[in-house]
Amino acid sequence: MGRSPCCCHDAGVKKGPWTEEEDRALVEHIKKQGGHVGSWRGLPRAAGLNRCGKSCRLRWTNYLRPDIRRGNFSDDEERLIIRLHAALGNKWSTIATHLDGRTDNEIKNYWNTHIKKKLLRMGIDPVTHQRLPPDLLADGGGLASPLLSPPGAAALQPLLSAVASLGSLDTALRQFQLLQHLLNAINSNSDVTTAAGLMATNAMVNSSSNVASFQEQMNALAHTNYQLPAYLRDVPSFSGQDMAQERINCNNNTAPVLIRSSAESVDQCCNDAALVPETYPQEVAASVDWQVQDFPSLEPLELPNLSSLESDLDPFWKEILESSFRS
DNA sequence: AAACTCAGCAACCGCATCTTG
DNA sequence: TCAAGATGCGGTTGCTGAGTT
C-alpha cells in the first residue's frame, strides 16, 4: 500500500533534540497510562507535546524507556553482535532482542562506528564476514591500525603476506562472495518469502534458458569445502546459527535448495518443518557483481597456517580471521 | 587560541509491514 | 478482500564535542 501522510511534515511540529521538559512530559504521560502507550499518533496531543508521534515513539524506545541499559558495550556483547550480524545481517531489531537493555539504534550505531571499522582493519568484509580480496586490502588489511594491538598486528603480518601471495585465492574468494551475495539477495527478496512468491519464482526460473548453466555453477559452489564459521556454530540458544548452517547444508546436498526469509522469526524458521523447495532465480545472479560464467571451476581453499597466532591474538578474533579464510 | 577534522550518537526520513474496519 | 491508518525498521543526516593542526 501507499505511504501514509506523517504528522512530522506538519508545519509547527518541533524537530531536533529533546528538552528535559519534553522528556519529562513524555515519561509522565506514559507512566499515567500505566506504561502502556495506546496510540503514538495521538500521544503528543494527550501529553501536551508539540512533537510527531513517531518522534515520541523513537525517543521513548531509544532513550527514555526504563529498561534501557546505557554505557559501553562489553566484550561479550560485542562478540554476540558480530555473531548475530554474521547470521542475520542488518536485522538490528532482531539482534537487539538478544541483548538485554540495548536498542536497535544503539547497536546499529555501535556497529557502524566501532565493529565495522575493526573488521575492516582486520581485512574482513563486515557485510559478508568473508576475507576481503587481497587487491582490496589497501595496507595489508590495515594491520598498522592502532585498533589492533601491536602484538596482534605483528603476529598477523606474515599471515597477510602469505595470503597476498596466493593468486588463486582472490578468485576463490570472489566465488564464495558470489554465493554470499546470492544468499543475501534471496533472503532480502520479500517476494520469495511467500508460497505464492516461491511458486512464481520457480516458474520464472524454470522458464529461463540459462537455468541449467547457472545451477551447475551453484552445484559447483556447493561441493567446495565451505563450512559455517565456528564462531557462528558455538552460540548456545541462538537458532539463527541453524538457519545459517541450513543454507550451507542445502548447498552441500543436491537440489532442491531451501530458502528462508531472514525477516522471519528465527525460532519459527528453525522449528517449522515445512520448508519450501526453491532454486536460484537468474535475476539474482544478474544482481551481483560478477558474471556466473566468470567462474568455470572451483578449487578447495587452503587455509593458511595460523599457528603463529596462537599466543598473540584473542581466540575470538583469531577464530573470526580463520573463518574468513576458511570460507 | 582559532580553525579544522573526525568520531560518536541522537534523531529524522522514507519505505515496508501490520492492523483494523 | 481491500484500503487506509498505525507502527516498525533500517539507512541516513546533522549536531556536538574531542582531538589535531
CATH number of the domain to which A51 belongs: 1.10.10.60
Whether residue A227 is found in the same domain as residue A272: yes
How crowded is the C-beta side of A276, counted as CA atoms within 13 Å?
18
Find the helix packing angle between A75-88 and A240-252, rounded to 10°. Answer: 40
**Neighbour tally for A253: CB within 10 Å:** 10
Whether A113 sits with its Cβ under 7 A from any strand B atom: the answer reads yes
**CA-to-CA distance for A82 and A111, rounded, in angstroms?**
9
Q: Is residue A1 part of a domain?
A: no
Q: Is residue A270 part of a domain?
A: yes
Whether residue A215 is found in the same domain as residue A312: no
Q: Is residue A251 part of a domain?
A: yes
Q: Which has the minimum average pLDDT: A22-31, A87-96, A238-247?
A: A238-247
Q: How many residues does chain A have?
A: 327
Residue nearest to nucleotide C16 (CA to C1'): A17
Cβ-based contacts (< 7 Å) between A 41-60 and strand C: 41-42, 53-54, 57-58
Whether residue A252 is found in the same domain as residue A182: yes
pLDDT band at A326 (very low <50, low <70, confident <90, very high): low
Whether A39 sits with its Cβ under 7 A from any strand C atom: the answer reads yes
Whether residue A194 is found in the same domain as residue A280: yes
Grid coordinates representing A247 are 543454507
Whether A65 sits with its Cβ under 7 A from any strand C atom: the answer reads no
Whether residue A320 is found in the same domain as residue A241: no
Q: Is residue A261 part of a domain?
A: yes
Residue nearest to nucleotide B11 (CA to C1'): A16
Q: Is residue A300 part of a domain?
A: no
**CA-to-CA distance for A151 and A156, rounded, in angstroms?**
9
Whether residue A122 is found in the same domain as residue A212: no
Whether residue A56 is found in the same domain as residue A81: no
Q: Is residue A69 part of a domain?
A: no
Neighbouring-strand partners of residue A278:
A257
**CA-to-CA distance for A105 and A214, rounded, in angstroms?**
39
Q: Is residue A299 part of a domain?
A: no
pLDDT band at A35 (very low <50, low <70, confident <90, very high): confident
- Residue owning grid cell 518541533: A14
Whether residue A54 is found in the same domain as residue A103: no
Whether residue A208 is found in the same domain as residue A290: yes
The parent domain of residue A20 ranges over 7-64
Whether residue A158 is found in the same domain as residue A177: no
Question: For residue range A184-226, what is the model confidence (pLDDT) as tens digits?
Answer: 433 433 333 333 333 333 333 333 333 333 344 334 434 433 3
Whether residue A159 is found in the same domain as residue A215: no
Which three-class secondary structure string do you get for chain A? CCCCCCHHHCCCCCCCCCCHHHHHHHHHHHHHCCCCCCCCCCHHHHHCCCCCHHHHHHHHHHHHCCCCCCCCCCHHHHHHHHHHHHHHCCCHHHHHCCCCCCCHHHHHHHHHHHHHHHHHHCCECCCCCCECCHHHCCCCCCCCCCCCCHHHHHHHHHHHHHHHCCHHHHHHHHHHHHHHHHHHHHHHCHHHHCHHHHHHHHHHHHCCCCHHHHHHHHHHHHCCCCCCCHHHHCCCCCCHHHHHHHHHHHHHCCCCEECCCCCCCHHHHHHCCCCCEECCCHHHHHHCCCCHHHCCCCCCCCCCCCHHHCCCCCHHHHHHHHHHHHC
The answer to whether the beta carbons of residues A266 and A243 sit under 8 Å apart is yes
The closest alpha carbon to A169, from A138, A135, A141, belongs to: A135
The closest alpha carbon to A248, from A157, A327, A160, belongs to: A327
Whether residue A156 is found in the same domain as residue A100: yes
Neighbouring-strand partners of residue A277:
A258
Please compute the mean of the pLDDT values over residues A290-312 and round it to a whole number. 36
Nucleotide nearest to A5 (CA to C1'): C5
**Which pLDDT score is estimated for A298?**
31
pLDDT band at A107 (very low <50, low <70, confident <90, very high): very high
Question: For residue range A40-91, what is the model confidence (pLDDT) as tens digits?
Answer: 888 888 888 888 888 998 899 888 988 888 888 888 898 889 988 888 888 8
Give chain A's domain count.
Answer: 3
**Which pLDDT score is estimated for A6?**
53
**Region of residue A160 (phi > 0: left; psi between -120 and 50: alpha; otherwise: beta):** alpha
Q: Is residue A319 part of a domain?
A: yes
